[in-house]
Structure 1
């Protein structure tokens, strides 16, 4: 913990406090005793041991991307403050809802966040669009799956506005908010029998019956053309996960839909993809590589080579760049 953090003063605050570096917001620099108790830990030492000093270990997997997406906007300087309600996994294995609000201090470049236990699921409504938040979405979907009669005929769709940040930068936050409101309205009208939620800054989810999905997507496309400003050049990618059964956890379905949606980022023309075996293998391969990077480095399987950079006119080597290669 850095010496510039006033630990004693932060401990006196009557709610949990976390401090992390804006350049590495997964790495916790300070946790107050009250913050530790939110995760059923006695003190900061026990909390950081449970987390392995990283915030990601204490967040419910289905909410992790949404939390870090909100915090990253503060880290990148896109906004100064954030507020988010999400699920955590305590040291005792219980799932709990918490509310976190934080801001980035310009003087020291640190993000200071307050964290409290959140019990009011009914208040989980997105203030900008009026849509249900992630908690209400999960709760409603679970109830429908539990009480529904059409087993195996549901789908979860993830909608992501590609490069939404550019809309904010070019046209301002007010236009960006208008874009989000328009998309929320389009999804609500396009999927009248489904459940729509705003999950993160530029991400929405829809839960619907597959019998109505194709017609709903056609209505959605028509509304998107009519209501989205051409100046925004708004590109919305859609990832579709067809639920094989009602027993599959909602978080898993949402994760598969979002992974499918992300597979479209940077592609030309194709704006919708369905989760299938080929994509499942591709995702598993990427996750394996990411999960074994440290082992590969420690065992010397990854070597760094210096590739020459050549000037086209003179064909002279003007520089070298590092290129990692797997042996």
Structure 2
């Protein structure tokens, strides 16, 4: 019997993330979801729960030490050496087709591997040209990446290629914490009983995603919605045009999620933070007063007869009248005690 996944419908809180995951499942061309948050925030539980909403139910985890060959596929050595023919050996991208590809701590992967994953997630095709093999195969999956920013950041170019970015609340309220732990304990004690108790809610969630996927292509990507989105991207000082395209696709997926036949303003608003969070220009915070550069102060003019000892250049002694011909006594220094 396959491993049981904790149902997404039973996850406490994290409503924004659950919505983002469902929209990515409705339209995988959105380009995946990057989840930020510290350890122990059930990021993998949410990703596994999403797999149950997809047609294949497939959930593939990409290990941190995976090579490029293991990810994209390579030459089948048994066929090449034993039979003298070039045959493609599928990798993780082929296995994830129709399901979820989960990458924990994606910020720790080499950049070129992250590029490969994002290319396949956006295009739905894996094209391999290596080791004498030329092969293309469908690779339409929902890419879920997680990261803890304390352990390193992704380059802005890679951040931009993730469709959505969602941050988890690191400190849920005490009542939520209690309910999260209780549900997890009940699931671990008897998974089948727990799944049975949530089957109705999970079934309704799965049916809603399936209906939205079927309706998606009937919803036009209209120019009026795109004009609003483009103006908001410009106001947010977003670089490039990827945000405009992702936002439009996401708004259409949200309209399908609502059961609407067109994109409305509420659909555009609902996905704005998912799209802009990792793309919007961040203003540089002001320095604290003790770190702010000191402005040079203008030198005071002492030539107008000002005899205040604190005025003018510090250390300058006030002028004193000396009698003509008198011998100037050397200064008397106080003796040290």
Please classify the TM superposition score into its range, dividing by the shorter chain length. under 0.3
The structure with more helix, counted as a fraction of residues = 2
Calculate the TM-score normalised by the size of structure 1. Answer: 0.24
Q: Choose 1 or 2 for highest CA Rg.
A: 2
The structure with more strand, counted as a fraction of residues = 1
Which one scores higher on RCO, CA 8 angstroms, separation ≥ 6?
Answer: 2
Calculate the TM-score normalised by the size of structure 2. Answer: 0.24
